[in-house]
């Protein structure tokens, strides 16, 4: 048996406390709902904790990150309040092998922009339209066990152009009732880390209670976990003498 994947679910936790209709959907916060979904889907294969913006160091001190295989990130209204020092630390952890799931409006989070290098801008409209999430890579582990398409009865529209680098793997494309499309399930490899962006998850809708969305997130956590649970340090640029690799201790 392999060890459980150690997941930290990070939530901004602002809308849930300040807006009644969001609180009604997520009384313990969106992070709690995401964590519950993971525990329900993966059982003993996962060990889940949560962290939020208002905790010291946003709940992401070094000891937490060192004990995390995969970090999920949801933020929206308070991206600017995330400290650059924490972003530095999370970037370092990802490059060293920690997986990262950027959820919905995390497209505009500091950490996502930092890792991708682009604006990550997009079109949007919040009118509760039907979203269909189409798998375009049926053999991808992140798409395992989900229907074609996933039907989300009402959601915010995110549309192209989505200003991201070409994804290393494209798993899902969404369409909306208004006709827009969106590359809403994208994999990126950066350093030793794997990053998955998944667009469903606006705070105004019960998306994280949706069984298929929970399945995708559970799949993605397993996909993003570092190989054999091993995480390394971020490499420097070593000077390397001729034949360095022939030494016994190379």
Residues 5 and 103: their CA atoms lie apart, in Å, by 19
Enter the tokens of residue 228: 């054999």
153 alpha carbon, distance to own chain's centre: 22
Q: Supply the minimum distance, in Å, between the C-beta of residue 188 and its own copies.
A: 7
> Which secondary-structure segment (H or E) carries 220?
helix 211-224
One DSSP character per residue, 32-84 reads: HHHHHHHHHHHGGGEEEEEEETTSGGGG--HHHHHT-SEEEEE-STTGGGS-H
Does residue 91 interact with its own copies by CB under 8 A?
yes
The residue count for binding its own copies (CB under 8 A) is 78
Q: Which of residues 16-35 bind its own copies (CB under 8 A)?
A: none
Site for its own copies in 207-236 (CB under 8 A): 226-228, 230, 232, 234-236
The piece of 3-11, 25-33, 36-44, 191-199 that touches its own copies (CB under 8 A) is 191-199
Contacting range for its own copies; rule: CB under 8 A; set: 6-14, 66-74, 77-85, 242-250: 242-250
Element (H, E) at 242: none
**Window 98-137: residues binding its own copies (CB under 8 A):** 108, 114-119, 121-125, 127, 130, 132, 134-137
Q: Check: CB of residue 77 under 8 Å from CB of residue 14.
A: yes
Residue 217 Cβ, how far from its own copies at the closest point, in Å?
16
Nearer to its own copies, 39 or 136 (CB): 136
């Amino acid at each position: 048996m392999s060890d459980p994947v150690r997941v930290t679910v990070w939530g901004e936790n602002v809308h849930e406390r300040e807006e009644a209709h969001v609180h009604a959907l997520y009384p313990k916060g969106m992070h709690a709902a995401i964590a519950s979904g993971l525990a329900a889907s993966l059982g003993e294969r996962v060990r889940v904790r949560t962290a939020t913006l208002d905790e010291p160091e946003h709940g992401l001190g070094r000891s937490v990150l060192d004990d995390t295989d995969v970090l999920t990130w949801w933020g929206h209204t308070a991206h600017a309040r995330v400290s650059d020092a924490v972003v530095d630390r999370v970037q370092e952890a990802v490059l060293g092998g920690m997986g990262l799931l950027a959820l919905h409006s995390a497209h505009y989070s500091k950490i996502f922009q930092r890792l991708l290098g682009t604006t990550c801008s997009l079109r949007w409209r919040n009118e509760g339209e039907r979203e269909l999430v189409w798998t375009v890579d049926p053999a991808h582990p992140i798409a395992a066990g989900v229907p074609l398409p996933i039907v989300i009865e009402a959601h915010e529209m995110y549309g192209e152009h989505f200003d991201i680098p070409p994804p290393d793997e494209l798993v899902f494309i969404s369409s909306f009732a208004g006709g827009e499309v969106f590359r809403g399930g994208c994999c990126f490899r950066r350093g030793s880390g794997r990053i998955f962006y998944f667009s469903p998850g606006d705070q105004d809708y019960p998306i994280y209670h949706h069984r298929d969305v929970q399945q995708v997130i559970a799949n993605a956590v397993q996909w993003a976990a570092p190989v054999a649970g091993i995480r390394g340090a971020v490499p420097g640029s070593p000077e390397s003498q001729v034949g360095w690799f022939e030494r016994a201790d190379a």
